[in-house]
Amino acid sequence: MTPRPSRLHWLALLVAVAGLDLSLTFHNLWPTPWVTTRHELSLEVAVLLLAMALYARWRPALSGTAVNVLAALLTIACIGRYAQVTADALYGRPVDLYWDARHLPRVAAMLAEAAQASAELVVAALLHDVGHLLHDLPDEAPDEGVDDCHETAGCNYLRKLYPEAVTEPIRLHVPAKRCLCAVEPDYLQQLSEPSMVSLQLQGGPMSDDEVERFMMSPYAEDALRLRRWDDLAKDAERRTPSLAHYADLLRRTASGETPL
């Protein structure tokens, strides 16, 4: 006769299920590689428990091989969940295995690099739109055909405090949008209506020559990453750290110190 489970066994099972549920429902703390939980219930865990309950009616226990296979599949699912929810923040766009499989080595390298974005690039991402606060134009200026040139204004203003590694990606984040519109048709199609209006004021998609000149800039890649992060930041549902979280980084980067 199979012994009845003790309270300790039931407690261990509850902890294991809760841990598995958290491992399959966490979300990204954008724009970092860290994760956070929203206390959701995993459909996968519910289906798994139901399947195991039904299986238990026919067989007394899973074999050792079945347990190992199940553990491997759950581990892969957890890793897949992490890749899914953090790809936008770390890579700049969702990873599509069908299209990106041939580039996986480079994708992995870019993910690793993005996860360790320089302090200067983080500051640039935080301050890239400060130029919008440096003019007296009305909010509807773009609709009236007026470009506020916020990227240039912000760069010139911050140049007094920060190095080029901060100010150049800021200056180039508008040209980066024009570049992406020229080289990635899908990117152009996903722009919001206000972004389409401002794109025309900013010169429209780049020509081939303009793209070539833009890519020659030592800060072109940083500007492209900043541009993608800027697009992702328009998601009002994303949870982000408070401004106080970045205060020390802003101070250290401005003073020329190496952030800890």
pLDDT 10s digits, 196-205: 888 888 888 9
Q: How many domains does the chain contain in total?
A: 2
* Pairing mode of beta strands 35-36, 27-28: antiparallel
Q: Find tokens 């952030």 and name the residue.
A: 259
pTM: 0.55
At residue 253, φ and ψ (nearest 5 deg) are: -70, -40
Same domain, 127 and 211: yes
Res 103: pLDDT: 45
Beta bridge partners, 27, equal 36
Do 27 and 82 sit in the same domain of this protein? yes
| 184 and 205 housed in the same domain | yes
pLDDT per residue over 144-182, tens digit each?
A: 667 778 889 999 999 989 999 999 999 999 999 999 999
93 and 172 fall within a common domain:
no
Residues 140 and 80 in one domain: no
Task: Give dist(CA 44, CA 26) in Å, integer.
Answer: 13
- The reply to whether 121 and 250 lie within a common domain is yes
pLDDT band at 106 (very low <50, low <70, confident <90, very high): very low
Same domain for 133 and 206, yes or no, is: yes
Q: Which residue has the higher pLDDT, 80 or 163?
A: 163
Q: For the chain, give the percent of residues with pLDDT over 90.
A: 17
Same domain, 137 and 238: yes
Kindly report, residue by residue over 225-260, the tens digit of the pLDDT: 888 888 776 665 666 677 777 788 888 888 665 444
Q: What is the mean pLDDT of residues 41-63?
A: 73
Q: Which residues constitute the domain of residue 89?
A: 7-105
